[in-house]
Amino acid sequence: MQSPVYQEISDLIRRIGRITFAEFMQTCLYSPRGGFYSSEKTNINQHFTTSPTSHPVFGSLIARQLEQMWRVLGEPPIFHVIEVGSGGGTLAESIIRSCYHMNPRFSEALYYIAIDYQPCRVQLPSPFIDFELGTEDETYPYHNHISSAIHRVKANGLQAFQNVAGCILYNELIDNFPVHRFAIQNGKIQEVFVTLSDSGFTEVLDEPSSPLIPQRISNLGLSLTEGYRGEINLAIEDWTAQLSKTLSCGFILTIDYGDTASELYSPQNNQGTLVCYNRHAAISNPYQHVGKQDITCQVDFTSLMEIGHQYGLTTVGYVKQNKFLESLGLSSFLDTLQKLGLSAARTELNRIAMMTLVDSEEYGDFKVLAQAKGIEFEFDLQGFRDHPT
């Protein structure tokens, strides 16, 4: 039996004809009839892990960067952090807890808003040490404070927010924006459309549905060979407009996997970067498990920076995640780990989990982009320095 989302897309194609891959992806991930991210039945942790769920130290290090941003802004009495795509709140809780211990004054100023399609609180048993707790005991005297300090909001985007002073933060969000797929055929840019055949969904090529697709390729200065296939994320522009309208003064911190355009659209990616995840298995076929698997695509950071500049967002830092976390002091947590008196097995388990955050084969090659708005003086963000301080 096919899923409700499969049926929804099939009915749409029968009614209006072929659709763009972006429309297909949008429905698969966000349909209210059971899309992967909008369904209350979806447990993301069953399909993939992220940096925040890999080890709490990720949130502790992000907290250090946020505290410095607060100081750059002159230590305002209210410092907003808006986390978009917050999921079960793992990152939010680790950040709030770390801020409480790191700098009580900053903790009092911090106003944390966690936005998601389905905001929820998920407590999972973890074998990992939370350095702010200093123990594996789940009882925590400030537990109620941590929970109440997170303002959970169900929303699609940032339209409801304005005049924000602080930081808009998101981890692995843009890779799930619906993308248009294209192919170079007979020297021309053709778009990939999705239609129906007797065996299910199939692809056809035709003229692009929007002039913005060839325009983006041209603007990036891409020279693509015959047969090249790739993806274009047109949603970046609307998203950047939302960011600029929401943020009056402060920072945007983007953490995701991807690269600059010259690397992203290089010959080794001549079939694109789109991949699906179902129960921790990477799958190349987006037309199976419709509505029940993640669909993701590497982020074009060149477009993020260039479009950001058009909307008044200044790029103030761009590094790999491993360098970012190392500059924020990951080594200090590794040193502390050795002094906690844990068993050798527990120490090694935590060390391995922490090292996945900087391992190039895991999360280390993710990119971290910092953009700023409304700041007229020079500053130096700690996570983007060459060496930790």
**Percent of the chain residues past pLDDT 70, beyond the cut:** 89
CA distances to 326, 381, 388 from 333, in Å: 10, 20, 13
Does residue 334 surpass a pLDDT of 70? yes
| pLDDT band with cut points at 50, 70 and 90 for residue 88 | confident
- Looking up tokens 């190349």, which residue turns up? 284
Helix (H) or strand (E) run with residue 314 in it: strand 314-320
In the predicted model, is pLDDT for residue 138 greater than 50? no
pLDDT given for residue 280 in this prediction: 75
Q: Which two tokens stand for residue 251?
A: 């920072």
Residue 323's pLDDT band (boundaries 50, 70, 90)? very high
Cβ proximity of 215 and 334 under 8 Å: no
Q: Residue 270: name the closest of 218, 230, 214, 299 by CA.
A: 230
Compare 1 and 14 and report the one with higher pLDDT.
14
Among 79, 41, 49, 76, CA closest to 63: 79
pLDDT level of residue 157 (50, 70, 90 thresholds): confident
Q: What is the pLDDT of residue 144?
A: 52
Q: Return the number of other C-beta atoms located less than 10 Å from residue 385's C-beta.
A: 16
Is the predicted pLDDT of residue 152 greater than 60, yes or no?
yes
Q: What is the mean pLDDT of residues 233-250?
A: 97
pLDDT at 137 over 50: no
Q: Where are the domains of the chain?
A: 44-177+235-257+298-384
Cα separation, 208 vs 271, whole angstroms: 18
Does pLDDT of 132 surpass 80? no
Question: CA 67 to CA 291: how far, in whole Å?
Answer: 39
| Confidence bin at 126 (pLDDT 50/70/90) | low
The span from the CA of 272 to the CA of 298, in Å, is 9
Short-list 205, 149, 200, 199, CA closest to 181: 205
* pLDDT (0 to 100) of residue 44: 55
What is residue 142's predicted lDDT score, i.e. its pLDDT?
Answer: 47
The whole-number pLDDT of residue 135 equals: 46
pLDDT, tens digit, 9 for 90 and up, residues 19-59:
999 999 999 999 999 899 886 555 555 556 899 999 999 99
Span 321-344, average pLDDT:
93
Q: Which of 22-26, 124-128, 355-359 has the lowest mean pLDDT?
A: 124-128
Q: 117 and 154 in contact (C-beta within 8 Å)?
A: yes
Q: Which of 1-5, 242-246, 261-265 has the lowest mean pLDDT?
A: 1-5
Q: How is 289-307 classified by DSSP, letter by letter? A: STTTSEEE--EEHHHHHHH
Q: Cα(77)–Cα(79) distance, rounded to whole angstroms?
A: 7
Residue 255 reports pLDDT greater than 80:
yes
Could you tell me which CATH number the domain at 44-177+235-257+298-384 has? Answer: 3.40.50.12710
pLDDT tens figures, 279-292: 878 888 999 999 99
